[in-house]
Amino acid sequence: MKTIIEPFRIKSVEPIRMTTRTERAAKLRAALYNLFGLHADDVLIDLLTDSGTGAMSAEQWAATMRGDESYAGSPSFERFQAAVQNLMPFKHIIPTHQGRAAEAILMAIFGGHGQNIPSNTHFDTTRGNIEASGAFAHDLVIAEGRDGQSNHPFKGNMDIAALEAFMDQHGDSVPIVMLTITNNAGGGQPVSLENIRAVAAVAKAHGKPFIIDGCRFAENAWFIKQREPGQGDRSIPDIVRDCFAMADGMTMSAKKDAFGNIGGWLALNDDGFAEQARVRLIQTEGFPTYGGLAGRDLDALAQGLTEIVDEDYLRYRVRTNEYIVERLDAMGIPVVKPAGGHAVFIDAKRWLPQIDPLHYPAHAVACRLYEIGGIRSCEIGSVMFGRQPDGSEKAAAMELVRLAFPRRTYTQSHADYVIEAFGELQAEIDDLKGFRITQEPAIMRHFTCRFAPL
Ligand code: F0G
């Protein structure tokens, strides 16, 4: 059969409250045009993030009942640790409440004043944790990764020549080399096994630990299986093991490819670094056999890790985005190609060249999309990145709208609805006006700033 179906049936549902365009326009005004300010009940299809928003399976809910809440030595931790080590063969597995907590602990060990940490592209919380420690975050993704129209199969790859030059230049001030799979900031684009191997080799040649941010490791492995020569016949767990066997550690947000609503971990091979990490963990998260989580969460994640590597799931997962990208592209709407693993990205700079980047064209698209269809998306452009540390404003490199799909949550008719809403939006595109920010905090302004339409 050619039709790729959702490989699950639904046992428990959450109703979507229908609203009219007039109601949504009023809600948006009341939220001062910040989509983070909306009540989730007023959203029909919530594509704000794929983080912690997915559906747990019946087996995961069953596993939560097995959860053991002992403060120390919980069997839930043993099951969690075994499930992680089955895919990622690291010696020390340190549970945290989410990915950024693992990053904070990692930076307490490796960050610090004047240090320089390269990656393909650091996610914003990783960058935040690096910079808060006094270090500098550097993004060395290949040139194709910055080009929304390049059809390169692995647009998340690190530029190896740039990494080598970087290591030569910064030498002793580089504590670790990082790599984000898939590259979220670059549109959920994958990194090839060959590239992971090359990054590992550069790190090793310079005697630096190599740490993978593995949030979307299963989607990345699926792309490797589909696109990398010689990988097509291998199982997903096999490919995953290969990726992580080359690293010295990892950070993880289990809210992505572990099917968790909460959770994360830090993994390390080195005994001394792991000891430092556990001391920090006890200070900031909790005892090493639960970290920042309840025993029931650890059991849900252990089960989730056995489900996320299922090929029928991954085929459906990645196909959802491809399906939307193909149709929007055919309609002439500028989308980032090829489709990434967890999200569809719209290039608002190309779609709305008449709106100045500092009048936030991607924000204008996101607001109108909500008005038309009740769809909540996320601006990744000058609202998110435009404010400089000195308070001045500078346009971001790209003005994108991200539609991130929660896992196992929406169906194909929801995808068709999103496509239809974009058709309506296209018919009104010339009417769209920009926005100005009327009030903003000093950092992370996109979460809480207020807007007025121009
Ligand atoms: N690394 C990557 C690549 C991420 O995408 C995220 C989160 C994190 C680290 C931090 O993990 O949220 O568990 O603390 N990304 C979410 C998103 C928030 O919407 O893309 P966390």
Nearest-atom number in ligand 1 for the CA of 180 is 3
Q: Is 321 in the pocket of ligand 1 (CB under 6 A)?
A: no
Atom of ligand 1 nearest to the CA of 182: 3
Asked if residue 341 has its Cβ within 6 Å of ligand 1, the reply is: no
CA atoms within 13 A on the CB side of 163: 30
Residue 404 Cα: closest atom of ligand 1: 19
Q: Does pLDDT of 390 surpass 90?
A: no
Look up the CATH architecture of domain 58-307.
Answer: 3-Layer(aba) Sandwich (3.40)
Q: How far is the CA of 298 from the centre of ligand 1 (A)?
A: 19
Query: Residues 262-291: pLDDT tens digits?
Result: 999 999 999 999 999 999 999 999 999 999
Q: Which residues pair with 233 in a beta bridge?
A: none
The predicted-structure confidence for 352-384, as pLDDT tens digits, reads as follows 999 999 999 999 999 999 999 999 999 999 999
pTM listed for this prediction? 0.96
pLDDT in tens, 189-243: 999 999 999 999 999 999 999 999 999 999 999 999 999 999 999 999 999 999 9
Whether residue 264 has its Cβ less than 6 Å from ligand 1: yes
Q: Which has the closest alpha carbon to 92: 206, 247, 243, 240?
A: 247
Check pLDDT > 80 for residue 186.
Answer: no
Per-residue model confidence (pLDDT) at position 351: 97
Which whole-number Å values give the CA distances from 428 to 92, 207, 327, in the listed order?
54, 56, 18
Nearest to 339 by CA among 186, 171, 132: 186
Ligand 1 atom at minimal distance to the Cα of residue 216: 3
Mean confidence (pLDDT) of the chain: 96
Q: Can you give the pLDDT at residue 391?
A: 87
Which residue has its alpha carbon closest to ligand 1 atom 9? 99
pLDDT for position 169 = 97
Pocket of ligand 1, candidates 103, 253, 262, 384: which has the most ligand atoms within 8 Å of its Cβ, to mutate?
253
- Say if ligand 1 is within 6 A of residue 289 CB: no
- Return the closest-CA partner of residue 194 out of 144, 222, 157, 141: 157
By alpha-carbon position, which residue is closest to atom 1 of ligand 1? Answer: 123
Residue 187's pLDDT band (cuts 50, 70, 90): confident
Residues 6+ apart with CB under 8 A from 135: 107, 111, 112, 113, 114, 115, 116, 117, 175
By alpha-carbon position, which residue is closest to atom 19 of ligand 1?
49
Is any atom of ligand 1 closer than 6 Å to the C-beta of 288?
no
Two domains, one topology: 21-50+311-453 and 58-307: no
Q: Which of 125, 181, 213 to mutate to test the pocket of ligand 1 (most atoms within 8 A of CB)?
A: 125
The residue whose C-alpha atom lies closest to atom 4 belonging to ligand 1 is 123
pLDDT at 340: 94
Using the atom order of ligand 1, give the atom closest to the CA of residue 50. Answer: 19
Ligand 1 centroid to 125 CA: how many Å? 7
Each domain of the chain, given as residue ranges in start order, spans 21-50+311-453, 58-307
Q: Is 220 in the pocket of ligand 1 (CB under 6 A)?
A: no
Q: Whose CA is nearest to atom 16 of ligand 1?
A: 51
Taking only the tens place, the pLDDT of each residue in 395-422 is: 998 899 999 999 999 999 999 999 999 9
What length does the chain have?
454
Q: Determine the average pLDDT of the residues in 169-192.
A: 94
Span from the CA of 448 to the centroid of ligand 1 (angstroms)? 18
**Does residue 95 contact residue 250 with C-beta atoms inside 8 Å?**
no
Backbone angles phi, psi at 356, to 5 degrees: -55, 135
Q: How confident is the model at residue 442 (pLDDT cuts 50, 70, 90)?
A: confident
Distance 257 CA to ligand 1 centre (A): 11
**What pLDDT, on a 0 to 100 scale, did the predictor assign at position 64?**
98
Please report the pLDDT score of residue 388 as a whole number.
Answer: 84
Tell which CATH classification among 3.30.40.10, 3.90.1150.10, 3.40.50.300, 3.40.140.10 matches the domain 21-50+311-453: 3.90.1150.10
- How many other C-beta atoms are found inside a 10 Å radius of the C-beta of residue 17? 11
Segment 89-144, tens digit of pLDDT: 999 999 999 999 999 999 999 999 999 999 999 998 999 999 999 999 999 999 99
- Residue 250 to residue 126: CA distance in whole angstroms: 12
In angstroms, rounded to a whole number, what is the distance separating the alpha carbons of residues 221 and 239? 6
pLDDT of residue 275: 98
- Please, what is the angle between helix 412-428 and helix 361-373, to 10°? 120
For the segment 310-330, what is each residue's pLDDT rounded down to a tens digit?
999 999 999 999 999 999 999
